[in-house]
């Protein structure tokens, strides 16, 4: 079994479903509310774990009632909490999510709270797991120093470093430089490169910009269009898979978790992209984020049905 390590956000999702998004000043009637585990870091690691990887997430929760939503999730799922700290007197992070039931699209407000307290010293405690892992997976919902420390360990021990540039924000140039895989969506790619993406050609231009910034490989997720990959020489477009979408919240996290699992398992890039594509497609057929992440057997069966070939990694 491959192992994936990284600092990541732990957030409780409070999701309301309604027939339409309210306009400013409107109180729209919803159909249901769900409270469950989320956060980009937690979602991605949950996706990777369910997809077949052993994971070690470095993060924090507060000592309030919301923390139990996350801790109970890890316990029931079987995920390690070795590097998850409970911080006294602090609030657990939360995300307020609106889901349009007609389109399955979402709007999100994230309160990072205790995630800001994930520091370099927390990452340092996990050095032994970085040393024997197969990939390092990060995003931008914890402190920059924790993310940079993850990259340091990835380089020190020769592990693939995967950076999901979400949520987009200003970052130091050194974070992109020499990064093995950068995985923005089209909005994030536009923020970092200035290229407005509507077509595959636009995605190619944005990928070129990332490579000029020093990234080794670029994967731009394009929502319903699929995902585009480039390393400056090879270019691959993986179309999206048509499914009955119920909730697209967390689809990008599912993609990254699936992609990291495939890369950690030694898959070639085309297989990794397809595996990630299947993971994301299955995730949107259920409500929620972490609870909606599919398990490996389900992904494998869907992969083989979709692409009419056996997976090339275990």
Domains (ranges, CATH) in the chain?
Answer: 3-8+44-59+118-307 (3.40.1190.20)
Which band of pLDDT confidence, cut at 50, 70 and 90, is reported for residue 248? Answer: confident
Provide the annotated active-site residues.
Answer: 253
Distance CA 92, CA 20 (A): 29
> What is the pLDDT at residue 202?
97
* Residues in CB range of 107: below 8 A, 6 or more apart: 21, 97, 98
Give 21-75 pLDDT, tens digit per residue: 988 888 888 889 989 999 999 999 999 999 999 999 999 999 999 999 999 999 9
Helix (H) or strand (E) holding 145: helix 144-156
pLDDT value, residue 29? 86
Between the CA atoms of 81, 84, 85 and 91, what dihedral angle is there, to the nearest 10 degrees? -110
Q: How confident is the model at residue 108 (pLDDT cuts 50, 70, 90)?
A: confident
313: pLDDT strictly greater than 80: no
Please state the rounded mean pLDDT for residues 67-85: 97
Residues 6+ apart with CB under 8 A from 65: none
Q: How sure is the predictor about 287, in pLDDT bands with cuts at 50, 70 and 90?
A: confident
Give the pLDDT band of residue 213 (cuts 50, 70, 90). very high
pTM check: above 0.75: yes
What percentage of residues in the chain have a pLDDT greater than 90? 83
Contact assessment for residue 83 and residue 126, using Cβ atoms and an 8 Å cutoff? yes
* Sheet of strand 106-111: strand arrangement: 30-38, 11-18, 93-100, 106-111
Burial (CB count <10 Å: 0-12, 13-18, 19+), residue 53: buried
Q: How confident is the model at residue 110 (pLDDT cuts 50, 70, 90)?
A: confident
pLDDT of 146 above 80: yes
Q: Give the C-alpha distances (Å, rounded to integers) separating 165 from 52, 110, 131, 169.
A: 24, 15, 24, 8
Q: Can you tell me the mean pLDDT for 228-253?
A: 94
Going by C-alpha positions, the residue among 189, 192, 191 that lies closest to residue 200 is 189
Say which residue the tokens 């609870």 belong to: 291
Token pair in block for residue 25: 């000043």
Q: Confirm if 127 and 6 have CB atoms less than 8 A apart.
A: no
Tell me what pLDDT residue 290 has. Answer: 92
pLDDT (average), residues 149-171: 96
pLDDT category at 249 given cuts 50, 70, 90 is confident
With cut-offs at 50, 70 and 90, classify the pLDDT of residue 139: very high
Give the CA radius of gyration of the chain.
18
| CB contact set of 237 (below 8 Å; sequence gap of 6+) | 200, 226, 227, 228, 229
């Amino acid at each position: 079994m491959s192992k994936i390590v990284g600092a990541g956000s732990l957030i409780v999702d409070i999701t309301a479903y309604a027939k339409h998004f309210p306009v400013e000043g409107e109180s729209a009637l919803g159909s249901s509310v769900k409270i469950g585990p989320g956060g980009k870091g937690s979602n991605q690691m949950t996706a990777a774990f369910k997809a077949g990887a052993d994971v070690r997430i470095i993060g924090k929760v507060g000592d309030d009632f919301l923390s139990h939503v996350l801790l109970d999730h890890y316990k029931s799922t079987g995920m390690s909490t070795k590097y998850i700290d409970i911080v006294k007197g602090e609030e657990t992070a939360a995300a307020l999510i609106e889901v349009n039931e007609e389109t399955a699209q979402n709007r999100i407000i994230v309160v990072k709270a205790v995630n800001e307290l994930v520091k370099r010293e927390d990452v340092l405690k996990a050095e032994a797991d970085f040393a024997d892992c197969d990939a390092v997976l990060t995003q931008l919902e914890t402190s920059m120093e924790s993310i940079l420390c993850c990259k340091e360990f990835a380089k020190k021990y020769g592990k693939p470093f995967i950076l999901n540039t979400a949520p987009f924000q200003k970052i130091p140039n050194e974070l992109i430089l020499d990064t093995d895989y950068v995985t923005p969506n089209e909005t994030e790619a536009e923020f970092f490169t200035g290229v407005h993406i509507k077509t595959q050609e636009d995605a190619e231009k944005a990928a070129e910009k990332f490579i000029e910034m020093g990234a080794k490989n670029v994967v731009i997720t394009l929502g319903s269009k699929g995902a585009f990959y480039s390393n400056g020489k090879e270019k691959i477009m993986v179309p999206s898979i048509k499914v009955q979408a119920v909730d697209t919240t967390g689809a990008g996290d599912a993609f990254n978790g699936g992609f990291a699992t495939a890369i950690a398992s030694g898959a070639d890039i085309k297989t990794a992209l397809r595996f990630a594509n299947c993971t994301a497609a299955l995730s949107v057929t259920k409500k929620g984020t972490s609870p909606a992440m599919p398990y490996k057997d389900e992904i494998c069966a869907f992969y083989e049905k979709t692409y009419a070939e056996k997976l090339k990694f275990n």
